[in-house]
Amino acid sequence: MSYGRYGSSVGRLPREAFRPSAIFLGLLALLAVSGWMAWADYGDARFNVFLFVAAGWTISLCLHEYSHALVAFKGGDDDIAHRGYLTLNPLKYSHPLLSIVLPLVFVLIGGIGLPGGAVWVNHGAIRSRFVDSLISFAGPAMNLVLAILLVLPFTFGLDSGEHQTFFAALAFLAFLQLTASVLNFVPMPGVDGGNLLYPWLSPQWQRGFNHVAPWGMLILIALLWSPRINGWFFSVVYWIGDLIGLPSYQAAVGYELFRFWDR
């Protein structure tokens, strides 16, 4: 999440400021249709998984940023609604390339849920430091909640029969939510975990934080190229996955199916 300074607007907010966008509704429709195709083994199973995971991952990016925006709005920043952040429109969250395209590319090449774009918050309007931290916490917490919800079918043994293509896709999508949550909670300047700590830092530390923050995500991505750090990262992801009951072998199958071009 990026930090900005804006003045507050006065006046009644139109309903359109809170209405889900047509793009988000279209993504939900794509998720439902591709999910049914994967469930019914209709057409190309690998392409069905690709559509299902891509749509589901993009939806989760919207929900991640929406969580930031909703807490900020409730915490005192009325301009959040005027900027369209409560419409679940992925094109409203920072730059579309950084918000949507880049995270999708990382899923394609590495199976990692890279955090998406930023919600610009007027931190001067936020009521307290606790709420300011809660804004940063809300996004990765949403990814973790989504991961738990996606794992529920496995917890209740619903994957023990047919429709294995669908459940593999579901497992991989849950895995992406876990990677996104762990990445976002890293206490790095410019990442949600670092932004969560920012309100409690001294002014001197905040100045240093602001110098590093624009490069924080790039530094984090570079660190993940280190085999040792990459191993630690995935060890944490798999450990949490085991705790919530995510079958890692099905997530691996889902990733292989997702890469429909790599036959």
Query: Rounded distance, CA 153 to CA 173, Å?
Result: 13
Token reading at 58? 């993009």
CB 68 within 8 A of CB 136: yes
Q: How many Cα atoms are found within 13 Å in the side-chain-facing hemisphere of 132?
A: 19
| Residues, the chain | 263
> For the chain, first and last CA: distance in Å?
37
* Main-chain dihedrals φ then ψ at residue 3, nearest 5 degrees: -105, 130
Structure tokens at 71: 């807490």
According to DSSP H, which parts of 156-200 are helical? 164-184, 192-197
Q: Which of 16, 65, 162, 256 is catalytic?
A: 65
Pair 176, 113: CB distance under 8 Å: yes
Beta-carbon contacts of 196 under 8 Å, excluding residues fewer than 6 positions away, are 133, 136, 137, 187
Q: Which two tokens stand for residue 137?
A: 């916490």
Catalytic site residue 16? no
Q: Assess contact for 120 and 195: CB atoms under 8 A.
A: no
Catalytic positions: 65
